[in-house]
Structure 1
Amino acid sequence: MTDIRLYMLQSGSLKCKVHNIKMNQGNGADYEIPVPFFLITHPKGHTIIDGGNAVEVATDARGYWGGICDVYQPVMREDEGCVAQVKALGIDPADVKYVVQSHLHLDHTGAIGRFPNATHVVQRREYEYAFTPDWFAGGGYIRKDFDRPGLRWQFLNGELDDHYDLYGDGTLTTVFSPGHAPGHQSFLVRLPKSGPLLLTIDAAYTLDHWNEQALPGFLASTVDTVRSVQKLRTLAERSGAQVVTGHDPDAWPAFKKAPGYYD
Structure 2
Amino acid sequence: MEQKDKDIFEHTTKFNTGIRLYMFQTGTIKTKVKFIKMNQGEEPYEIPIPWFLIKHPQGDVIIDGGMPIEAALDKHKHWGSLVDVYDPVMKASEWCRDQVKTVNTNPEDVKNVIQTHLHLDHSGAIGHFPNATHITQRIEYDYAYNPDWFSQPAYIKEDFDKPNIRWKFLQGKKTDYFDLYGDGVIKIIFTPGHTPGHQSVLVNLPKTGHMLLTGDACYTGDHWCDKCLPGLVASASDAADSVAKLRKIAKETNAKVVWGHDPVTWLQWNKAPMFYYD
Q: TM-score range by the shorter chain?
A: over 0.9
Deviations, residues 61-114 of structure 1 (Å, cap 9, x unaligned): 010111111110000000000011001222111010001100000000100001
Does residue 22 (structure 1) correspond to residue 37 (structure 2)? The answer is: yes
> Which residue number corresponds to residue 123 of structure 1?
137
Using structure 2 for the length normalisation, give the TM-score. 0.93
Tell whether 2:160 aligns with 1:146: yes
Q: Distance in 1 between matches of 2:102 and 2:247?
A: 35
Instruction: Report the equivalent of 1:56.
Output: 70
Structure 2 equivalent of residue 247 of structure 1: 261
Distance of 2:37 and 2:102 partners within structure 1: 34
How big is the shift at 1:25? 0.7
Question: Where does residue 89 of structure 1 map in the other structure?
Answer: 103
Question: Matches of residues 92-107 of structure 1 in structure 2 within 5 Å?
Answer: 92-107=106-121
Aligned match of 1:238: 252
Aligned-residue sequence identity (percent) comes to: 57
The answer for the alignment partner of 1:185 in structure 2 is 199
Q: Which amino acid aligns with 2:63?
A: I
Count of equivalent residues:
261
Question: Is 1:6 the equivalent of 2:16?
Answer: no
Aligned-residue CA RMSD (Å): 0.7
Q: Deviations over 1:182-235 (max 9, x none)?
A: 000001000000110000010000000001111111100000000000000000
Deviation for aligned residue 1:249: 0.3
Aligned to 1:221: 235
Rounded to whole Å, the distance in 1 between the matches of 2:107 and 2:143 is: 29
Aligned to 1:44, the other structure's residue is in SS state coil
Q: What is the rounded CA distance, in whole Å, between the counterparts of 2:134 and 2:269 in structure 1? A: 26
User: Tell me, what secondary structure is at the counterpart of 2:178?
Assistant: coil
> For 1:223, what is the secondary structure of its paired residue?
helix
Which residue of structure 1 lines up, in the alignment, with residue 92 of structure 2? Answer: 78
Structure 2 CA distance for aligned equivalents of residues 59 and 88 of structure 1: 21
Structure 1 runs of 4+ with >2 Å offset: none
Equivalent residue of 2:167, what SS? Answer: strand
Gaps of 5+ in 1: none
Q: Helix, strand or coil for the counterpart of 1:253?
A: helix
- Partner Cα separation in structure 2 for residue 89 and residue 238 of structure 1: 32
TM-score under structure 1 length normalisation: 0.98
Aligned equivalents of 2:101, 2:82: Cα separation in 1:
30
* Partner SS state of residue 179, structure 2: coil
What is the CA distance between 1:56 and its match in structure 2?
A: 1.2
* 1:125 to partner: Cα distance: 0.3
The residue identity in structure 2 corresponding to 1:126 is E
Distance 1:162 1:46 in 2: 22
Mapped pair 1:160 → 2:174: yes
Deviation at residue 59 of structure 1 after TM alignment: 1.6
Q: Which letter maps to 2:60?
A: H
* Secondary structure, aligned partner of 2:74: helix
In structure 2, distance between residues paired with 1:140 and 1:102: 14
**1:187-202 to 2 correspondences below 5 Å:** 187-202=201-216
Larger radius of gyration: 2
Equivalent residue, structure 1, for 2:6: none
User: C-alpha separation between the residues in 1 aligned to 2:232 and 2:131?
Assistant: 33
Identify which range, 42-51 or 64-73, moves more after superposition.
64-73
